Chain A
């Protein structure tokens, strides 16, 4: 029998042991409390560290929230110009990369049998030194190469110096998705070999040629915020200011008002015919139109002549031209991955020409702020490196993050070239296709564990701080380089810094502090950098002139190799997995894909019409064959495709031994051409036609949103508000009222008196016009509230646990005209915290009740699991614990200590982040003031890049939520049930008129 006191003692001791473990990463044998407690670790009080998100090259500013020495959540850094306090879903989920159970837990070496075996760091360094020393003594040059992710600042200088010491300058930055065509086009048109900076927020009209800027294109969080600024200022009587042209309706495309489903390969012709029409209608700005080469260049592309090949009607082209020039500035964005084929450079040129004609240069299209992406090695350069590797010119190759074997076209032979290199060192932290070819693995820290700096564009230098001790026995690559150098006689003298942190500081001192106009002492400068998250300064705008581009704008017929009857293959970066770098991240698998609502698999998207021709059904496994390879994958029917296209996401599956990655349809890069584009040297993403054959096997795909055929439309309309605001001008006071129809016909409708909310009445407003459906909120909710992941099988059985889901409401896309109304609404659904909550009276044990602050509270300890509340919830937002869900170590370190974890048999749901409400109230009390607007922000609202979610106190008449609750577009979902939700939605603005009125 264990006594209560003994139990508490044991728990206390083991708890503090676990805590110390978490802090030091080593096993603490002695249980001695901190004699001198670290300044920034106060039990129960979170400490925040500024750092930089390194999940993708965008480099958003990040705040890492730590509790008792471990990172529990990441949020955007509000003082950072990139992201401005917001993160995308990948950033939110990056903590799961940190605690990923499949990470390399220490250095590994390939043994004679070809397998990997763990070794000690000393051994590993010895091995590395023994391989490098001969090169030094030979005085060999260019025998060492480095291929890795983007680096800037101190890290880059260190690596360059280190490689230089080894007699090499072969440093190649690799990213799967490059923008080489756009850079080349900028050089041709404006003489600047750099990516233009786009200012969506100033545009009055936006035209995207397949650029998925809300998901994966360049800097998605930044673009999403800018997009929202652009959208929020549009007139409500003509709310259609975004047209998407492309072969596939991506999430970005779904957020457009109109979609023009283009025939693949006709983008350039369409862009030129729009330009033609601009000139034709006399809408062009004089400076561009007056250039004598413009008219002859555009002459062959009248809308009439391109109509046949593009399938876009003359009136549509004229309307597009008119809208581009009607209210300057507008903006046209060049091709995304989906439009990157042989014609990529001409397309970018044509789009830049459109911008020039519409007068956008220097306004929404600016030069003079080079992006870090400008420094990427092109595919051609990587092929050259592979060539050298094959020719035995490279003795040692360093691979620093990135998975080129997986993300380069498989038939490019990079994997074989890698095998030809005598010694391949990888700094990757997760096993992948590339580490399978490495001889030595020296796992790098996660970016939340290490020092670093990153400058995503000039003028923005971000500091990256270690927010916690390393989870595993890893070492920061920079420190490995320094200590290796110090062990090599010839190098030791040149690398005097004992740690990378020291070098980082001296680098910032030399390159930033000393270059400032005014003298700031280091003691002030450095803390300011750390608290701000970096050093930021405005870059001056560069004036550019339009050059003659006619010579480079050769429009040719795009050639696709592969069977004539096959379909053009469109690969797109997965909105959640990018190129597959976080494929082992369970939240991202469990949160439904925003366009398909599917979870946990990889698939190939086929148009329903194509499926009918080939007798394919959802979930049929097909074999895709191109001249370069073949693969099998399950079919998903998607009507947001041009009929000539099949599409496949990149990066949802990997063959490496990762517990969360799918193994289905492993790598679509097997299918595409290994040839680089002739003009830009980029990967030809659109290069093949693929044949589709049914294998007869089935692999049912799991969707969390049901789409039954027997459904009458009425049920949908009650949830979906497809009305222009003028059609329903219903301004109500912010106090939540009963539905008007009820009270008018029947008088007071409630038997019980209303609840009293003396202090606060928490409420939320969700603007459906702003919500893009990106699901960053869902990931934030998983992270904040310890929401369990249940896995593919249980998702298929309807046991998902998400507290917040984004429903996709999209009617079948009607293709009667060349312009399609996208008609998509992304509806975030979470607990509505109803004033008359149907769940409350039915609970026999008072496990759920209305609290005095307007929350529908759920008491886990009191719940016995009758599940009546869930039956009676019309919004279906309550989640039941079908099992006691657990996570493999060390993922449990991410759990938020402020939120209870739930066990089997208990109901749970959104709490409006009650722990954050409590924290906000505590903070206000400590500062001896009233709780003000903005003191409490739930995790979902915190990260929403468009600020679609606003939270606050309805009792406070000046709070944003009070103001917005009375907005003319307001409504409550299923308000006819008189549940009187605390969540108010604002209707989406949709165009009432057809695109062209001619």
Chain B
């Protein structure tokens, strides 16, 4: 057996191991079902809380004059933000040929789709008359009543809708070869479903060629959306005249924040997942470390944005803006503001130490802190500014009620529910892409090196 043959044999063995490992992850244990059950219970509770709100009116929330937007919009922005790094990892890093992304890209894409699905619920939950939500859509009707295209909320509908469509397509296209693997390894009705879903994939060279260009094309399409969606979401605020919202830096600031929070969410999800599903060989410490490095970069951008905002408030001599930022820094919102600084600006700095960013415990803890910090950031921006608007005689303090907390919690359960279904039924790691990078590594050891550099 020549060296090449033996390498090929090893490689074939490895490839089969990949198939085995990834597919084995699809066989869940009791812990899985327990988690699924918890999610369903929490979702049910959230649905009950929401029906209570629909029946009683929004008085059951903590919202009050003048803080008309609170936890729901905060959570909406939070989930839209989470959705961002999925596309970032799978599309942008793909375009930049950062090969290490392969292992985590599937999970990140799934996260994107589910996060948008979660985010999309919140504008509806938030409405005073949610049963009329379709009036926000530009549909032809006999009264020729159209939506107001000047309203940022309509831009939101388009931005989020587009983002969901493209990221779902991107997710699906990337999944096709792996669906074929699933089809080949399943029987009965499952096989039939996977047959349809895999679009008759045979793995021919021609198919791979088309697949690559479609994937590249969608990646190129998704990339500007990463920037545009959150820019549009940020305009919900920046376009308003509310001091603390009305700022030109909002678009880049929110995009950076979105990527930042999304990366943290990737860590939050993958660290337990790789342990539970035994995928440590595929989602390696090296991958996690790279995510941590990106977190440092985005954290620094976010911190810079915070400082810029404060500087503008001071430099503009606008008393209203100053009032808002004073209330954040030293006033009623100070505890939340400093919590946000701790979580978003200071904690990620620990990743400068190689030891810490290679420690999964630290990674996981800080990723949680960042999740909390980013939710708090949006809360401070949204509610903190509304609470300190121009008419000082109307100032008030807002804190979410049990209904809002329940629905927030239920949104996490809803997201987790879909994620659990995903890792049970679909390969959490893109089999084909992992094989591709293994192959590349075997033939060109230097590529591994470049990968580490990226």
B 290-328 contacts with A by CB, 8 A = 319-320, 322-323, 326-327
| Docked complex Cα distance between A884 and B129 (Å) | 12
Most chain B CB within a 10 A radius of its CB, from A716, A841, A876, A904:
A876
Q: Are B148 and A798 in contact (CB under 8 A)?
A: no
7 A-B contacts (beta carbon < 8 Å): A719-B391, A862-B135, A864-B127, A868-B151, A871-B242, A874-B391, A876-B389
Whether, in the assembled complex, B136 has its beta carbon less than 8 Å from a beta carbon of chain A, the answer is yes
Q: Which residues of B contact A866 (CB under 8 A)?
A: 123, 126-128, 153
| Docked complex Cα distance between A266 and B451 (Å) | 92
Q: Which residues of A contact B389 (CB under 8 A)?
A: 874, 876
Whether, in the assembled complex, A842 has its beta carbon less than 8 Å from a beta carbon of chain B, the answer is yes
Q: Are A842 and B151 in contact (CB under 8 A)?
A: yes
| Docked complex Cα distance between A949 and B136 (Å) | 38
Which of A715, A845, A905, A906 has a CB less than 8 Å from the CB of B323?
A: A715
Which of B66, B123, B326 has a CB less than 8 Å from the CB of A710?
A: B326
Which of A711, A799, A844, A882 has a CB less than 8 Å from the CB of B151?
A: A844
Instruction: Give chain B nearest CB distance to A874 CB in angstroms.
Output: 4
Q: Which residues of B contact A884 (CB under 8 A)?
A: 57
Q: Mark A830-856, 1 if CB is under 8 A from B, else 0.
A: 000000001001111110000000000
Whether, in the assembled complex, A921 has its beta carbon less than 8 Å from a beta carbon of chain B, the answer is no
| Docked complex Cα distance between A708 and B239 (Å) | 28
Q: Are A864 and B136 in contact (CB under 8 A)?
A: yes
Most chain B CB within a 10 A radius of its CB, from A706, A708, A867:
A867
Q: Are B58 and A905 in contact (CB under 8 A)?
A: yes
Instruction: Give chain A nearest CB distance to B362 CB in angstroms.
Output: 37
Whether, in the assembled complex, A865 has its beta carbon less than 8 Å from a beta carbon of chain B, the answer is yes
Task: Identify 12 new A-B residue pairs, CB closer than 8 A, beyond the known A846-B147, A866-B128.
Answer: A712-B323, A718-B390, A843-B151, A845-B148, A864-B127, A866-B123, A868-B151, A875-B391, A880-B65, A880-B68, A882-B58, A883-B59
Q: Are B153 and A842 in contact (CB under 8 A)?
A: yes
Whether, in the assembled complex, B330 has its beta carbon less than 8 Å from a beta carbon of chain A, the answer is yes
Whether, in the assembled complex, A746 has its beta carbon less than 8 Å from a beta carbon of chain B, the answer is no
Q: Mark B325-362, 1 if CB is under 8 A from A, else 0.
A: 01100111000000000000000000000000000000
A-B contact count (CB 8 A): 168
The chain A residue with its CB closest to the CB of B133 is A864
The chain B residue with its CB closest to the CB of A907 is B128
Whether, in the assembled complex, B4 has its beta carbon less than 8 Å from a beta carbon of chain A, the answer is no
Q: Mark A870-900, 1 if CB is under 8 A from B, else 0.
A: 1110111001111110000000000000000
Whether, in the assembled complex, B395 has its beta carbon less than 8 Å from a beta carbon of chain A, the answer is yes
Q: Which residues of B contact A799 (CB under 8 A)?
A: 59, 64-65
| Docked complex Cα distance between A865 and B330 (Å) | 33
Q: Are A867 and B391 in contact (CB under 8 A)?
A: no
Instruction: Give chain B nearest CB distance to A742 CB in angstroms.
Output: 14
Instruction: Give chain A nearest CB distance to B379 CB in angstroms.
Output: 15
Q: Are A710 and B327 in contact (CB under 8 A)?
A: yes
Instruction: Give chain A nearest CB distance to B149 CB in angstroms.
Output: 9
Q: Which residues of B contact A879 (CB under 8 A)?
A: 65
Q: Which residues of B contact A794 (CB under 8 A)?
A: 59
Q: Which residues of A contact B67 (CB under 8 A)?
A: 798
Whether, in the assembled complex, B132 has its beta carbon less than 8 Å from a beta carbon of chain A, the answer is yes
Given the known interface contacts A712-B323, A829-B391, the answer about A880 and B136 at a Cβ–Cβ threshold of 8 Å is no
Q: Which residues of B contact A168 (CB under 8 A)?
A: none
Whether, in the assembled complex, A797 has its beta carbon less than 8 Å from a beta carbon of chain B, the answer is yes
Q: Are B129 and A712 in contact (CB under 8 A)?
A: no
The chain A residue with its CB closest to the CB of B156 is A844
Which of A708, A844, A863 has a CB less than 8 Å from the CB of B154?
A: A844
Q: Mark A701-730, 1 if CB is under 8 A from B, else 0.
A: 000011010111011101100000000000
Please give the residue numbers on chain A whose beta carbons come within 8 Å of chain B beta carbons, in ascending order: 705-706, 708, 710-712, 714-716, 718-719, 794, 797-800, 807, 829, 838, 841-846, 862-868, 870-872, 874-876, 879-884, 904-907, 974, 977
Q: Mark B169-212, 1 if CB is under 8 A from A, else 0.
A: 00000000000000000000000000000000000000000000
| Docked complex Cα distance between A702 and B67 (Å) | 18
Which of A705, A872, A876 has a CB less than 8 Å from the CB of B240?
A: A872
Q: Mark B105-128, 1 if CB is under 8 A from A, else 0.
A: 000000000000000000100111
Instruction: Give chain B nearest CB distance to A709 CB in angstroms.
Output: 9
| Docked complex Cα distance between A143 and B391 (Å) | 63
Given the known interface contacts A719-B391, A904-B128, the answer about A883 and B332 at a Cβ–Cβ threshold of 8 Å is no
Q: Are B135 and A864 in contact (CB under 8 A)?
A: yes
| Docked complex Cα distance between A844 and B126 (Å) | 14
Which 10 A-B residue pairings sit nearest by Cβ, starting from the closest?
Answer: A865-B128, A905-B128, A798-B64, A714-B319, A904-B57, A882-B59, A867-B68, A876-B394, A905-B129, A844-B153
Q: Are B242 and A797 in contact (CB under 8 A)?
A: no
B 383-399 contacts with A by CB, 8 A = 386, 389-396
The chain B residue with its CB closest to the CB of A875 is B391
Q: Which residues of A contact B68 (CB under 8 A)?
A: 867-868, 870-871, 880
| Docked complex Cα distance between A904 and B148 (Å) | 23
| Docked complex Cα distance between A844 and B146 (Å) | 9
Whether, in the assembled complex, B449 has its beta carbon less than 8 Å from a beta carbon of chain A, the answer is no
Q: Are B320 and A715 in contact (CB under 8 A)?
A: yes
Whether, in the assembled complex, B56 has its beta carbon less than 8 Å from a beta carbon of chain A, the answer is yes
Whether, in the assembled complex, B241 has its beta carbon less than 8 Å from a beta carbon of chain A, the answer is yes
Q: Which residues of A contact B332 (CB under 8 A)?
A: 708, 710
Q: Which residues of B contact A708 (CB under 8 A)?
A: 331-332, 392, 395
Given the known interface contacts A845-B136, A974-B390, the answer about A712 and B326 at a Cβ–Cβ threshold of 8 Å is yes
Which of B152, B157, B386 has a CB less than 8 Å from the CB of A842?
A: B152
Q: Which residues of B contact A977 (CB under 8 A)?
A: 241, 390
Which of A846, A867, A881 has a CB less than 8 Å from the CB of B148?
A: A846
Q: Which residues of B contact A880 (CB under 8 A)?
A: 58, 65, 68, 128
Q: Which residues of A contact B133 (CB under 8 A)?
A: 864
Q: Which residues of A contact B320 (CB under 8 A)?
A: 715, 718
Given the known interface contacts A710-B330, A864-B132, the answer about A844 and B148 at a Cβ–Cβ threshold of 8 Å is yes
Q: Which residues of B contact A875 (CB under 8 A)?
A: 390-391
Q: Which residues of B contact A797 (CB under 8 A)?
A: 59, 64
| Docked complex Cα distance between A708 and B387 (Å) | 12
The chain A residue with its CB closest to the CB of B146 is A846
| Docked complex Cα distance between A545 and B31 (Å) | 103
